[in-house]
Amino acid sequence: MGKATLVSLRIITADIKRLVQFYEDATGIAAKWATDDFAEVTSDSFTLAIGSTRTLAFFGDGIAEAATNKSIIIEFLVEDIDDHYEMIKGLTSEIIQQPTTMPWGNRSLLFRDPDGNLINFFTPVSEDAKKKFAKE
């Protein structure tokens, strides 16, 4: 048996158009819509899938609930966190932490999407953090 590879994270939402638009604006990546109830925001390294609550009918009752996440932070590597901060302030009033340099070497901006999910935009600033995220 081979090892598993994480390729996507899916958010379930009651307002898919609003949430997809938010992620398009925040990331600068146009979503690809498969149906009216499912879209993907895809970068070189990751896919953020967004499904409406209607997609849950395929899996069974009571398996997921929109806008109730309290334990996961979705993280995006960005080139300049301070530039992104100015843009994010125009998308949400729910800034949890303004750009702050963390002990592990990333400058981090923490905010919430329209469904309340925690989002972290970060830029490596220490030498160790820069090495960790350097493209080869």
What are the residue boundaries of the structural domains of the chain, listed by start? 1-56, 70-136
Secondary-structure class of domain 70-136 per CATH: alpha beta
Can 1-56 and 70-136 be said to share one CATH topology?
A: yes
Distance CA 11, CA 92 (A): 18
Gyration radius of the chain over CA positions = 16
Segment 18-27, tens digit of pLDDT: 999 999 999 9
70 confidence band (pLDDT: 50, 70, 90): confident
Average pLDDT, integer, range 30-50: 96
Superfamily of domain 1-56: 2,3-Dihydroxybiphenyl 1,2-Dioxygenase, domain 1 (3.10.180.10)
**Residue 83: pLDDT above 80?**
yes
Token pair, residue 74, equals 């979705």
Segment 84-121, tens digit of pLDDT: 999 999 999 999 999 999 999 999 999 999 999 999 99
pLDDT at 128: 96
**3-class DSSP state for residue 15?**
coil
- pLDDT above 90 covers a percentage of the chain that reads 82
The values of phi and psi at residue 127, to 5°, are: -60, -45
DSSP letter for each residue of 42-103: E-SS-EEEEEEGGGGGGT-TTS--TT---S-EEEEE-S-HHHHHHHHHTT-S-EEEEEEE-T
**Residue 136: pLDDT above 70?**
no
